[in-house]
Amino acid sequence: MAGAVHAGERPTASVGDGQAVEVSTGAVMPDGADAVVIVERTDRPEEDTVAVRDAVTPGENVMLAGTDIAAASARSRRGRR
């Protein structure tokens, strides 16, 4: 494990070949990361080791910021707060 990043934090670790960073739901992905393996598909045989049971492809389990908000709900309407 090269580190961890939680929602609301800026990543301080980066991901290299053969490395992993723990990324909480809603957190920004660190440099070098291109996919997310959900924790249910991993094992932790040792404190600093992660065993990945299923391969992922680039972009898998990743959402771009703001894509979970419908376009019409993102703008404000007159007279509403």
- CATH number at 7 reads 2.170.190.11
3-class DSSP assignment, residue 59 = coil
Domain count, the chain: 1
How confident is the model at residue 76, as a pLDDT? 59
**Structural domain of 72:** 1-81
> pTM score, two decimals?
0.71
In this structure, what token pair is assigned to residue 69? Answer: 């908000």
User: CA–CA distance from 75 to each of 31, 38, 64, 70 (Å)?
Assistant: 31, 32, 18, 10
pLDDT tens for each residue of 25-78 = 989 999 999 999 999 999 999 888 899 999 999 999 998 776 767 665 656 566
